Amino acid sequence: MKTNTLKTITSIAATGLLAATAAQADFLYPDVAPPETIDICVAEIDAQANYEDATYVRHEVASRPRATLGHTLRINTLVYDETGGQLIREYKTTCAVSTREVPVSFRIEEKNGA
């Protein structure tokens, strides 16, 4: 009799753990930031970077989830000129985003030698 009760309790507990794990999976942040949060950081870069004489600007984005809510983005911004597509400036940016419409933190620096 005790064996059947123990098996039933173990089965119910395992089912509960499985259900809790499945429910939690819907609330986890994806590895890659959604486009609208990347756009928040790119808009901040656009406000601070010098695009004078540029005909083409490229943003290379690397994303990882933050320990808390949101993502940390590392963005390499390449600014090319109109004569032969030469690289004229390069910026390195670290931008943390969450559910807010502004970055949680933002740091941009121009890379020397571009």
- The pLDDT, as a whole number, for residue 3 is 56
Angle among Cα 107, 72, 108 to the nearest 5 degrees reads 15
> What string of DSSP letters covers 41-78?
HHHHHHHHS--TTEEEEEEEEEEEE-SSSSEEEEEEEE
Full strand arrangement of the beta sheet holding 105-110: 54-65, 71-81, 87-97, 105-110
DSSP single-letter state for residue 40: H
- The pLDDT, as a whole number, for residue 89 is 94
CA distances from 87 to 54, 61, 111 (A): 9, 18, 12
Q: What is the pLDDT of residues 42-82, one digit of tens each?
A: 999 999 999 998 898 999 999 999 887 889 999 999 999 88
Q: What is the pTM of this model?
A: 0.70
